[in-house]
Amino acid sequence: MDGLDDDTTVFTTLKSFKSFISQPDTSQHLAETSMTKSDLQRQYIHRIELEDAAAKIHSQTHLLQMAQEKKQMELSHKRARIELEKAAHSSARDFEREVDRNQDLLTRIKKLEEREAETAQVLNEQTEMNKALRKTMEGQNKKLEEKDSKISNTNEAICTLRDEIRELNHKIKNQEIQLATQATENESLQEQVEYQRRKYQEANQKYQSLQSSECLNSENELKIKELERRLALQEQDSVIVRNMRTELARVPEMERELKRLREENSYLRETKENSSLLKEESEGLRRKLERLEKIKEDMVNLELEKEKLAMKLQAWENLSQSTGLNIRKPEDLSREIIQIQQREIGLKQQNYSVTSSARALEKARTELQNELVQLRTKVLEEQKKREQQDALVRRLQKRVLLLTKERDGMRAILESYDTELAASEYSPQLTRRVREAEDMVQKTQAHNSEMEVQLSKAQEEAGSYKLQAQTAEMELDILKKQATNADNSAFVVGEEVSSLRQKIEELEAERGRLEEQNNVLEMRLERHNLQGDYDPLKTKVIHFRMNPTSLAKQERQDEVEKLREECRQLREHVRSLQAGGAVAAEEGTFNLPPSQEVLDLRRQMESAELKNQRLKEVFQKKIQEFRTVCYVLTGYQIDITTENQYRLTSVYAEHMEDSLLFKVGAV
Amino acid sequence: MSSTLKGITLKGSAELVAEFFSFGINSILYQRGIYPPETFTRVTQYDMSLYLTTDAKLKNYLTNVVSQLKEWLFDCTVQKLVVVITCLETNEVLERWQFDIECDKTAKQSSGPREKSIKAIQEEIRSVIRQITATVTFLPLLETACAFDLLIYTDKDLQVPEKWEESGPQMIADSEEVRLRSFTTTIHKVNSMVAYKRTDSM
């Protein structure tokens, strides 16, 4: 194949070469006109040679090319063969696959054939059914035709009936007209009846009026009689009137007189008023006079008093002169009195102090008396003592005398002894005795002196006691004097007694008051006890935790809470109602008692729904009618299968199922 | 009831007084209209017809309180029992029926029965309940919804039992008091009285 192509190229090159050769003959010819003829020939030969060489080279190259091509061809042949073998292998495999597929297909075909046979059977059954259906269709068509004929018959009957109806309508109209005329007649008759009735009523009224007028008549007759009587009376009166007229003629004169009298009257009245005024004045004056007289009397009295007072004053002045006090006026007197009172108060105070001192003195006196008594007793005792001591002193003195005598006797004895004996044997003893005796004497002397001292002391004491007694007696005398004075102040004691009594009374009163208070307090305590008060130290109050009060309170609180919540909800509800709308959301939570308004609205809604339903029914009925009419008249029926899709079925279609489907486009 | 007809023991006295309180409280509740009259039933006690509540809750409450009270009466630790009637609207105390109980604590030691017949005691109790009934004539009308509470005044050292708690005396601010009759079992003496809020009209 490739070689063929190469040959064509060679041929084309040869052709082109030949054409090239043939062409320069004419072109060179034209060129040779300008060049030389020798040159031309040589050039031509040279050229041919060149061309031959070129052709040779060319052919050689061509040959080489061909050889190469041949080699390539061979190679390609080999490759092609290998490829072919490969292809053969693949094709063999393909073939096998194809065979398998073929077998599959064959089995499928067989199945399909079976199915076909089945379908053919079904088809036959279908066709048979179709035929049967067609037969039934035909039968139905026939029936329909019969029905059509019947319908036409009935239509005719309807027409006839309509005619009849028309006639009947005519008749009815005529009858109605007649009825109307009769009704008009009736009305006129009724009007007449009413007119008659009215007349009757009028007659009745007239009759009644007549009766009443008769009554009136009789009354009037009575009245006339009465009037006649009155007339007679009037005639009598007229006579009187005439008399009166004559009297009346006198009236102007009387009037004049009356005027005059009135004037006089007014004048008199004025005078009366004046007189009354004067009387009042006179009375006033009289009163004044009386008053003045009284005043005069008073004056006289006062003068008398004045004189008396002057006398008194004089007396006062005299008094002042006599007393030497500076009393000229009552103020002075009062001042004096005040001073006196003050003095009196002072004196009283002094008196009180004096009485108190008197009391003190009394006390002192009593004390002193006691003391005095004591002192007297003491004095007596002392006197006794002194007497005793005096006696003792006397005795002692006697003893002293005796002792001195004894001593002297002893001394004499001793001296006699001394003189007689002068012995030294007894002398020491005697001297001792003497000494002893002397000692004793000295002792007795000392004792004596002591006693004397004591005596003197006692005497002194007695003197002092006597002095005391005297002073006491003096005091007693003084006190006695004072006591006499105190007797004068017995009334002071009385006062004291009375004051004490008063105090006692006061205390009694206070006691009573306190008792009362105590009673009141006790009563109060009782009342507190009654009110339920208690002593928290001794008592405590307890109650059951779940008592009815706390339970009731709890319940009440809960209820209040609930009501509050409800109130709040209702408020919100009202607010939302006021705002308008958004009620439906909360409607479930409320079970409001249906108000009248709500009930009305519900009724309206129900009626509206009913109306709507009726309209729907009527509409459906009408549209059905319209559709059937369309179908009957045009033979076409349009159904809406889905939205924007309409099915057109014709009564004249071959099959019942035959239909055209239309769809509304996007536009 | 006491075992003998002639005498009375502490136990019998406590039971008698507790019984009196049960009937007395029921009478007050009926007479003062704290509970509707249809919830009461007639019974014969102390030779007179009395009203007892049929309200289950109230019955339960009263039996609870009265049984506890019986114990305390037996221990002689109770001083007073007060029926407080409170207005629910204003929480104001309107009436206080106070029963002062004087216990003869020596009866605890000497267990011998006292010389007083139950008949005589019941006679006294009857007169007290009659008086409670009669007080309706002068007590002001309870116009608002009311509830009652029972306060018990006890000795300070008493252990407060479970379900009970301390309370205030619930006194009436401006009150009138009327003393009623008293009765005694020789162990317990019960003085009764009623205090009520003075109204403006009186």
pLDDT digits (tens, 9 = 90+) for A489-522: 666 777 888 889 999 999 999 999 999 999 999 9
pLDDT of residue A472 exceeding 90? no
Q: Give the angle subtended at the CA of A452 by the CAs of A447 and A456, to the nearest 5°.
A: 150
CB–CB contact B147 A533 (8 Å)? no
Contacting B residues, span 170-199, partner chain A, CB-CB under 8 Å: 170-172, 175, 177, 179, 193, 195
**pTM exceeds 0.80:** no
Whether A541 and B169 lie within 8 Å, measured CB to CB: yes
Which pLDDT score is estimated for A224?
Answer: 93
Closest CA to B152 of B95, B58, B82, B93: B82
Using an 8 Å CB-CB cutoff, list chain B residues near A547. Answer: 61, 149-150
What number is the average pLDDT over the span A41-70?
Answer: 87
Which of the pair, A433 or B36, is modelled with greater confidence?
Answer: B36
For B194, phi and psi rounded to 5 degrees? -130, 135
Residue located via tokens 């007497």: A387
Task: Name which of A3-12, A633-642, B184-193 the model is least confident about.
Answer: A3-12
| Cβ-nearest to A543 among B155, B164, B193 | B164
B63 touches A: beta carbon within 8 Å: no
In angstroms, the separation between the Cα of residue B5 and the nearest Cα of chain A is 34
Spatial separation of the C-alpha atoms in residues A211 and A645, rounded to whole Å: 97
Mean pLDDT confidence for A579-603: 66
At a CB cut-off of 8 Å and minimum separation 6, what does A640 contact?
A: A646, A647
Q: What is the pLDDT of residues B29-48, one digit of tens each?
A: 998 888 898 999 999 988 88
- How far off is chain A from B60, nearest CA to CA, in Å? 11
**Is the pLDDT assigned to residue A1 strictly greater than 50?**
no
pLDDT at residue A667 tops 80: no
pLDDT exceeds 70 at position B95: yes
> Tens digit of pLDDT for each residue in A206-246?
999 999 999 999 999 999 999 999 999 989 989 998 988 88
Q: Which CATH number fits domain B7-155+164-197: 3.50.50.60, 3.30.1310.10, 2.60.40.10, 3.30.900.10?
A: 3.30.900.10
Looking at the partner chain, which of A531, A534, A542 has a beta carbon nearest the beta carbon of B165?
A542
Closest C-alpha to B67, from A182, A349, A544:
A544
Q: Is the dihedral of CA A514, A519, A525, A527 positive or negative?
A: negative
Which of the 8 DSSP states describes residue B136?
G
Tokens of A568: 């709040």
Check residue B120 and give its pLDDT: 87
Could you report the per-residue pLDDT of A346-360, keeping only the tens digit for each? 888 888 888 888 888
pLDDT at B202: 46
Q: How far is CA B198 from CA A119, B88, B202, in A?
A: 113, 18, 7
Sorted by sequence, the CB contacts under 8 Å of residue A504 that are 6+ apart come out as none
Residue B79: list chain A partners with CB under 8 A.
534, 539
Give the model confidence (pLDDT) of A249-264 as tens digits: 888 888 888 899 999 9
Task: Encode A248-313 in three state secondary structure.
Answer: HHCHHHHHHHHHHHHHHHHHHHHHHHHHHHHHHHHHHHHHHHHHHHHHHHHHHHHHHHHHHHHHHH
Q: Which residue in the set B57, B155, B175 is minimally distant from A538, CB to CB?
A: B155
Nearest to B169 by CA among B156, B157, B151: B151
Name residues whose C-beta falls within 8 Å of residue A431's C-beta, 6 or more positions apart in sequence: none
Instruction: Provide the Cα torsion A359, A362, A363, A364; round to 10°.
Output: 120
CB-based contact, B96 to chain A, within 8 Å: yes
Q: Quickly state the pLDDT bin for A323 (edges 50, 70, 90).
A: low
Token pair, residue A201, equals 């009523």
Contact B164 A532 (CB under 8 A): no
B91 in A contact zone (CB under 8 Å): yes
| B153/A534 touch (CB, cutoff 8 Å), yes or no | yes
pLDDT for B115-150, tens place per residue? 788 888 888 899 999 988 888 888 888 888 888 999
3-state secondary structure of B53: strand
Instruction: Judge contact between B53 and B62, C-beta under 8 A.
Output: yes
CA atoms within 13 A on the CB side of A400: 16
User: Residue B107 — very low, low, confident or very high, per pLDDT cuts 50/70/90?
Assistant: confident
Q: What angle do CA A460, A463, A468 make, to 5 degrees?
A: 125
By the CB < 8 Å criterion, does A661 face chain B?
no
pLDDT at site A14: 77
pLDDT of residue A550: 84
pLDDT of residue A529: 78
Hey, is the C-beta of B58 within 8 angstroms of any chain A C-beta?
Answer: yes
Identify the top-confidence range among A147-151, A352-356, A370-374: A147-151
Q: In this structure, is the dihedral angle defined by the CA atoms of residues B30, B33, B34 and B37, taken in order, positive or negative?
A: positive
Share of chain A above pLDDT 70, in %: 89
Dig out the tokens for A596 from the structure: 């009248």
Q: Which of residues 115-174 of B touch A (CB under 8 A)?
A: 145, 147-156, 158, 160, 163-172
Contact list in A for residue B150 (CB cut-off 8 A) is 543-544, 547
Query: Which pLDDT band, with edges at 50, 70 and 90, does B4 fall under?
Result: very low
Is B184 a residue whose pLDDT tops 70?
yes
The separation between CA A10 and the C-alpha centre of its own chain, rounded to angstroms, equals 127
Q: Which of A94-103, B22-31, B105-114, B159-168 has the lowest mean pLDDT?
A: B105-114
The helix (H) or strand (E) run that includes residue A558 is helix A548-579
What is the 3 state secondary structure string of A312-374?
A: HHHHHHHHHHHHCCCCCCHHHHHHHHHHHHHHHHHHHHHHHHHHHHHHHHHHHHHHHHHHHHH
Q: Which amino acid is located at A520 in the chain?
A: V
CA A341 remoteness from chain centre: 76
